Each structure stands twice: as structure tokens, then as C-alpha cells.
Amino acid sequence: MREQLFSLKDIQVLSKIRYVKKAAIFDIDGTILKNHSSERVFFRYLLEKKVVTFKDLLQFARVFLKNLFNLKGIYLRKNKYYLKNREYAHIVSDMNQCFQERISPHISAIALEEIARLRRDGYFIILMSGTLSPLVDCFVKRCNAHIGVGTSLGVDDNGKITGEIDGIHAYSSGKVKVLTRLAAEYNIDLSASYAFANQYLDAKFMRMAGNPVAVNASTLLLFHAKMSKWKIMEF
């Protein structure tokens, strides 16, 4: 009988090595979407459509004040109480409509070209943002990305939004957690990957990639990028 050259474990390891991916990770707000915040655009859209009322704004403010002393700088971004008790399916429909009418026209053509170029070169395209997950899904389709990760809304058993977020908030250090998980799940070689973002807070996840790129950079990120000899671009 011929001697078995590889065990099943060896084959599994070799299979993983064979399919290691290089990725290009893009922030959305301020990067792909220059000078705009997708959730703020959506918030204004809901106000105009009278989906969000003065009562909802009071509820939002009340929760903000209640958590004021526990903020640590980011609870405001986790506060989704302006959507509390809304039907999730209806809000997702509103997001899709808002994206088509108000957001999609402001996506940078240069960003789309860069994404297309990297995809042709074999990069696994990831969009990662603190904005709402259904909005991220819209960006994934428009940008022809492979996957996207955003901030998920908490939804109760009746399909209504709770006002809280569900899972990791993909903002600041949350992006580090998300990217760590994605790298393991999709077998990504971060040292061969790109990371594109516009704010200094994003430097935390950008440093994880071998090729960080400061895009439409804030003053602090621009300074850091120059000191660290990162690539600098304008979308």
C-alpha cells in the first residue's frame, strides 16, 4: 500500500494556505462618500418625510442625557432611539429609497474606479462603516464590493426597532474587532491588504493593513499619514 503523504489535518492547512486572500478595506462616510454622512442624510430624509417626529427627537435626547455620564465619547453614535418602535422592514425600505435619491449620486467616481481596479487585481473588497447595516448593503451593491459590515439595529420579536444596536458597533476600535473577525473568517492576509479611510480614529484599523491609505484625510490623519509615510489620496 502506498504511504499516505498528507494527513487530513495537513490537507486542511494546505487548503487554507492556498486560498489566503488579500483584501482592500474601505471606510464609507467621508471616504467613498466625500463630505457626507450617510446616516445623517437618512435622518434628514426621515424628518422631511415626517417619519421621524418631534416626539422621536425628544426620546432620542432623553436617552442621550440619561447616558451622558457613561458616554466615553461614542454613545451618541450608538443611540438609534429616533427609530424606536418603527417597523424594521419599513425603515429598510425607506433607506433603500433614500440611498437611490439622496446618497448614491454623491459616491465618488474616483472611489468606484479604485474599487474596480483593486477587484480586477484580485483583492477581496470589504466596506466597513459605523453607519446602519442596510445602508452598507446598498453601498455594497453600488460599489460591487464582496461584503460589507455596518451597525445592526436591534429588532424585537415583532419586527420593531428597539433603539439599541445589535452586536459590534463598527466605529473606532469597533472596526478593529470587526476586521480581526473578518481576517479569521475569510482567511485574509492583512499584511498584503489595503485600508482606506479619512479620520484619525480609523488609524486603529488602518494600522492592521500592510498598505494604509489616507483618503480625503482630516488634519490629524493627514499629519499622521505623512509622519508614517502612508499613501495619501483624494477621492
The mean pLDDT values, 10 residues at a time, for the chain of 235 residues are: 47 51 97 93 92 65 58 56 90 97 97 98 96 96 97 94 86 91 96 97 96 98 97 97
pLDDT computed for residue 78 by the predictor: 64
**What pLDDT is stored for residue 167 in this prediction?**
85
User: Is-contact 204 211, C-beta < 8 A?
Assistant: no
Give me the domains of the chain, ranges plus CATH numbers: 14-233 (3.40.50.1000)
Which residue carries 428597539 as its cell? Answer: 162
Q: Identify the pLDDT of residue 101.
A: 97
pLDDT of residue 65: 55
First to last CA, the chain: 62
What are residue 158's phi and psi, to 5 degrees? Answer: -95, 5
Q: What is the pLDDT at residue 26?
A: 98
Residue 201's nearest CA partner among 169, 233, 231 is 169
Query: Based on the number of CB atoms within 10 Å of its own CB, is 50 exposed (0-12), middle (13-18) or buried (19 or more)?
Result: exposed
